Amino acid sequence: MAKKLWDKGIVTNQEIERFTIGHDQELDVQLAPYDVLGSMAHIIMLEKIGLLKKSELKPLLQSLKTIYLQIEQGNFTIEPEVEDVHSQIELLLTRDLGDLGKKIHSGRSRNDQALLDLKLFARHRIEKTVELIKQLIDTLLEQSERYKEVLMPGYTHLQVAMPSSFGLWFGAYAESLTDDLQLLLAAYRIANRNPLGSAAGYGSSFPLNRQMTTDMLGFDSMNFNVVYAQMGRGKMERIVTTALASVAATLSKLAYDACLFSSQNFGFIQLPDAFTTGSSIMPHKKNPDVFELTRAKCNKLQAAPQQISLIINNLPSGYFRDMQITKECFIPTFEELDDCLRMTSLIMPQIAINQSILDDSRYDLMFSVEAVNDLVQNGMPFRDAYKKIGDDIAAGSFHPVKTIHHTHEGSIGNLFNDEIRQLKNDLIAAFHFEKRSEAESNLLSMAE
């Protein structure tokens, strides 16, 4: 049976062990490749400062790379008696290399290992999420251009207000996602700082070279103060999930619009039969379940930052086991959001647009502002124009002109989609994901 990394010969009560390990064995599998990468950087640094011999480094790197490839192939598990991913990887090393495998932990703690794994995981998953956001923005902008001439009612207070267009509707959500990218970029920069070497939160008497591991792992910088590095546990997760929650809020609003606009009372859009579900009792039903589930899942995702805050917000400085529970709120959030992004990107191009919405006279009054503005352009003071059109409406003599000539930036006739697309491109470039990718590839190549 594998021993705990902290084992001092005292047998732990089995119920206590079950309770304290919690879901770590299940969740930590997702952290495994990052634990290997962190260990590789750490032992290269240990060799440079004389805590490992050159003859010891190569077999350790090769064994770690073998474990990494097993993880990539889906052949890695955390054994039932093993506490967490850190313990499992060290166990595999000692099985392969004997006592040499026990040397990799010098100068670090499971505390900074967990911090490091979560940060490497976060930046990898943020990159995946950003790619899905990019795809959805591109899809929305394509739809915006395709239907830019198709008018639809705009609403305030859920009352018909002024003319809008499907170009504006699709484009609005594309730009909303660029704001979400801004927030994700800030979260990525906070995650992209190296805590390795902070150990249990107070550094080490070994002459660690933290800048070296920072560079090898492709971080922007280290977390400079070792106490703050540990204080970042939970804080980083809260900040990242706040950014993910912002994306979720955009998707939830879009899903609500789609449910509303596809109902018969609106009839603005229609979903293909293959993207709807039926009723067990009403044969005519075509339910927008994908959008309803997207709305519910995204609303649930918006609770993640609050859950993490409630776990960490009354803790003093230093490490506490409470922080383990943040994994349960943090790790699954990425896949849940990514699934919603994939579904939305899949369904958006398939939506059929009603191009004759404004043939219905119920929408005639939304052109009243256009009529007021025409009078103003012909010299009538705005308040007089407003009163005249109001009187015409009250008298039933208002007859709308349904041609629209909006030209200012971001309006019906000037969507500024190219500017939204450029903003998206600039934001994605600012992540510099290539730095992370190159650093990890270099680390793996050192084991060859």
6-23: pLDDT as tens digits: 455 556 667 766 666 666
CA atoms in the 13 A half-sphere facing the CB of 272: 8
User: Looking at residues 28-52, what average pLDDT do you find?
Assistant: 97
Model confidence at 147: pLDDT above 80? yes
pLDDT score, position 11: 62
Q: What is the dihedral of CA 209, 238, 257, 415, to 10 degrees?
A: -40
pLDDT score, position 277: 77
Helices (H), 98-193: 110-146, 166-191
Contacts 24+ apart (CB under 8 A), 142-150: 142/349, 143/170, 143/348, 143/349, 143/351, 144/168, 144/169, 144/170, 144/171, 144/174, 144/415, 144/417, 145/415, 145/417, 147/353, 147/355, 148/412, 148/415, 150/353, 150/355, 150/357
User: Looking at residues 97-107, what average pLDDT do you find?
Assistant: 95
Q: Name the architecture of domain 111-358+414-434.
A: Up-down Bundle (1.20)
User: Looking at residues 195-217, what average pLDDT do you find?
Assistant: 97
DSSP assignment of 350-414, as one string? Answer: GPEE-TTGGGSGGGGGGGHHHHHHHHHHTT--HHHHHHHHHHHHHHT-----------STTBTTB
Q: Residue 269: beta bridge partners?
A: 353
Q: Which of 193, 184, 199 lies closest to 129, judged by CA?
A: 184
pLDDT score, position 286: 82
What are the sequence ranges of the domains in the chain? Answer: 14-106, 111-358+414-434, 359-395
pLDDT score, position 15: 72
Model confidence at 57: pLDDT above 50? yes
Model confidence at 173: pLDDT above 70? yes
CATH superfamily of 14-106: Fumarase/aspartase (N-terminal domain) (1.10.275.10)
Interatomic CA distance for residues 153 and 162, integer angstroms: 6
Sign of CA dihedral 267, 271, 276, 281: positive
Model confidence at 261: pLDDT above 60? yes
Strands 221-222 and 193-194: parallel
pLDDT score, position 2: 53
* Cβ(172)–Cβ(156) below 8 Å: no
pLDDT score, position 285: 75
**What's the predicted TM-score (pTM) here?**
0.92
Interatomic CA distance for residues 40 and 66, integer angstroms: 12
Model confidence at 3: pLDDT above 80? no
Q: pLDDT tens for residues 339-392?
A: 999 999 999 999 999 999 999 999 999 999 999 999 999 999 999 999 999 999
Model confidence at 117: pLDDT above 50? yes
**Token duo for residue 70:** 């097993």
Strands 151-156 and 159-165: antiparallel
pLDDT score, position 27: 85
Q: What is the dihedral of CA 239, 241, 246, 251, to 10 degrees?
A: 170
Q: Tell the residue number behind the tokens 């955009």, with chain if given.
A: 250
Better-scored residue on pLDDT, 5 or 52: 52
CA 257 to each of CA 148, 253, 270, 294, 300: distance values in angstroms, whole numbers, following the listed order: 18, 6, 12, 12, 18
Strands 159-165 and 193-194: unpaired
Identity of the amino acid at 401: V
* Host H or E run for residue 424: helix 417-431
Better-scored residue on pLDDT, 283 or 39: 39
Better-scored residue on pLDDT, 443 or 9: 443
pLDDT score, position 274: 81
Q: pLDDT tens for residues 218-255?
A: 999 999 999 999 999 999 999 999 999 999 999 999 99
pLDDT score, position 1: 44
pLDDT score, position 82: 87
Interatomic CA distance for residues 426 and 420, integer angstroms: 10
Interatomic CA distance for residues 39 and 60, integer angstroms: 10
User: Looking at residues 27-36, what average pLDDT do you find?
Assistant: 94
